[in-house]
Amino acid sequence: MKGIKRIVGGVVAKKGAHPHIAMLSYVGFGGYGQFCDGTIIHKRFILTAAHCFVGWDESASTYEVLLGAHSKMTTEEGQETYLLESIECHKEYKVTQRQILYDICILKTSEDIQFNKSVWPICLPDDTPPPNSEELAGMKCVVAGWGDTRFTGDDRVLNQVDVPVLTPETCQEWYNDNNILVDIDQHVCAGYEEGGRDACQGDSGGPFVCDRTDLQKIDHHMKMNQNQKILTGIVSFGVGCAQAKNPGVYTNINYFLPWIFDQINKHDDCYPSNPCKNGGLCLDNFHGHDCECPSGWTGPDCSLAEEDLTACHKNVCISGECILDDSTSRGYTCDCDYGYGGPFCHIVTDNCVAINCNLGTCKLDASGEAQCICPQNWTGEFCATDVNECLDNPCAPGAGCDNIDGGYECSCPIGYEGDGTKEGTGCSAHNCGPSSVCTNNQGGFKCSCEAGFTGNPPAVKCR
């Protein structure tokens, strides 16, 4: 059982698609020091996984959070960096051979987060049905992060993958062979029976997000377009990486809402410097605060004039860009990303956009189904399995063969020299020089002079 580290079988996220995600790093290292992810839920608080901190350095001054980032290597417009004031992990957090429990932490920033189009809090569940309920089974939700994608994409930029929610019964059945115990209250499972798409080691603490429009009941506190998402889970653990019947396990936000609210309510959110703009009234609540806006103003902080709202503020293009268009009854059209269509860009028109063939190429068969065409040295449904070339004995006689990603390496044993390949120099016994003798010695070799000669071969020839 491993902590989650990377997105497997996903795609590069569109810039601005996840304004709620936080990159956790070490102070002064920026994106290069990224070690975990988190989720903005409030202007001072970020949720993440306890295993990112417990057992490591838990001093808040060691860390910083990068918000609004897309790439680890470059700074984006609207990107912000904040220091931490405190780190509060659940006191009952524990790891066993069979599961991780109470895997949740809340981080408090040293100052208020300044929200913009690239930095925005996500909604917590309110009256939504529990994510493990039968009506949610099969719903595809999104996990995103900067973890090491290895063969699956570019880990320097934000990646995302869609995975379906599983019932606890299905999750436990799949994990029985690995002796993993799923907690019906604390855990949410998501993944494919055949594997291929998942989170993996390095995206720890990141958000597992479902569309509020797919839920039967929604959180009514925030009405902005950016808040059409509900935080359903926190990336916690799994077995292997996108393997068949080994789904990702996420900390269930619904179960931990009382704990989250208790942490937030330790602080009076409505500061003397009213966070509500344009005369709005600040009302403290479990989520942090609400702004009761005066007539003519709207938005979470009453900063948007109602007269300035457009159709694109009120509607969403699922996989595309909203463009104002007065010639339509809706007042806008959706410019769909490649592979998507329909009035809201919600229909997949090219099945290749839904899978990642890693180093391979996606092709559509006669029926329109996507399949991966793998390059030499790679195999598997998603071209993610390395072929073991050493099985064909490609190296010279006596040489060792090491299977590496996408190829193999030949090497000579101790006491021999050469490149170990059939095409090159092969492996030959070590030459100690004239009038010398080479003998095996404790797993290696030893050079010595023949009788009647002196020297220290091979450095000093025998004479």
Q: Which two tokens stand for residue 193?
A: 């029976």
Q: Which two tokens stand for residue 431?
A: 């030459």
Across 102-242, the runs of DSSP E, i.e. the strands, are 105-109, 140-145, 159-164, 187-190, 198-201, 207-211, 229-238
Can you give the residue range of the structural domain that contains 371?
A: 353-386
CATH, residue 377: 2.10.25
Q: Give yes or no: residues 456 and 435 share one domain.
A: yes
Instruction: Look up tokens 């010279």; give the residue.
Output: 396
**Residue 344, domain member (yes or no):** no
Rounded to whole angstroms, how far apart are CA atoms 1 and 23? 24
Confidence of residue 370 (pLDDT cuts 50, 70, 90): confident
Closest CA to 105 of 55, 43, 32: 55
Q: Give yes or no: residues 153 and 24 share one domain.
A: yes
Least confident of 20-24, 127-131, 428-432, 440-444: 127-131
pLDDT at 172 over 60: yes
pLDDT at 372 over 80: yes
**Residue 206, domain member (yes or no):** yes
3-class secondary structure, 176: helix
Q: Give yes or no: residues 60 and 173 share one domain.
A: yes
pLDDT at 421 over 90: no
The total number of structural domains in the chain stands at: 4
Rounded to whole angstroms, how far apart are CA atoms 68 and 80? 6
Confidence of residue 444 (pLDDT cuts 50, 70, 90): low
**Residue 419, domain member (yes or no):** no
Contact 249, 182 (CB under 8 A): yes
Rounded to whole angstroms, how far apart are CA atoms 250 and 191? 11
Q: What percent of the chain has pLDDT over 70?
A: 80
**Residue 322, domain member (yes or no):** no
Q: Give yes or no: residues 249 and 164 share one domain.
A: yes
pLDDT at 298 over 90: no
CATH, residue 10: 2.40.10.10
- pLDDT tens digit string along 135-152? 677 788 899 988 754 434
Least confident of 25-39, 60-74, 114-128, 391-405: 114-128
- pLDDT tens digit string along 64-85? 999 999 888 888 888 999 999 9
Q: Give yes or no: residues 206 and 248 share one domain.
A: yes
Q: Give yes or no: residues 253 and 104 share one domain.
A: yes
Phi, psi of 264 (to 5 degrees): -70, -40
- pLDDT tens digit string along 183-214? 888 999 888 876 545 455 557 899 999 876 55
Confidence of residue 154 (pLDDT cuts 50, 70, 90): very low
Confidence of residue 283 (pLDDT cuts 50, 70, 90): low
- Could you confirm whether 51 is annotated as catalytic? yes
Instruction: Look up tokens 């806008």; give the residue.
Output: 332
**Residue 225, domain member (yes or no):** no
Contact 275, 282 (CB under 8 A): yes
pLDDT at 5 over 50: no
**Residue 49, domain member (yes or no):** yes
Rounded to whole angstroms, how far apart are CA atoms 313 and 222? 13
Closest CA to 384 of 243, 251, 252, 288: 243
pLDDT at 127 over 50: no
**Residue 329, domain member (yes or no):** no
Instruction: Look up tokens 């007042």; give the residue.
Output: 331
Please compute the mean of the pLDDT values over residues 208-224 and round it to a whole number: 54
Q: Give yes or no: residues 115 and 254 share one domain.
A: yes
Confidence of residue 243 (pLDDT cuts 50, 70, 90): low
Of 18, 42, 51, 289, the active-site residue reads 51
Beta strands 21-26 and 36-40 are: antiparallel
Least confident of 100-109, 311-320, 353-362: 311-320
Sign of CA dihedral 163, 169, 170, 172: positive
Of 118, 204, 236, 436, the active-site residue reads 204
Give CA torsion, residues 217, 218, 221, 222, to 10 deg.
-160
Q: Position 417: which residue type?
A: E
Confidence of residue 11 (pLDDT cuts 50, 70, 90): confident
Q: Give yes or no: residues 378 and 451 share one domain.
A: no
Of 20, 90, 103, 289, the active-site residue reads 103
Element (H, E) at 261: helix 253-264
**Residue 413, domain member (yes or no):** no
Q: How many CB atoms lie within 10 A of CB 328?
A: 12
3-class secondary structure, 134: helix
What is the distance, to the nearest Å, from the Cα of residue 80 to the centroid of all Cα atoms in its chain? 20
Closest CA to 278 of 253, 254, 297: 297
Phi, psi of 428 (to 5 degrees): -125, 155
Q: Give yes or no: residues 379 and 242 share one domain.
A: no
Residue 221 is predicted with a pLDDT of 38
Please compute the mean of the pLDDT values over residues 41-53 and round it to a whole number: 93
Q: Give yes or no: residues 273 and 210 share one domain.
A: no
Q: Who wins on pLDDT, 351 or 212?
A: 351
Q: Give yes or no: residues 106 and 140 share one domain.
A: yes
Question: pTM of the prediction?
Answer: 0.56
Confidence of residue 22 (pLDDT cuts 50, 70, 90): very high
Q: Give yes or no: residues 114 and 75 share one domain.
A: yes
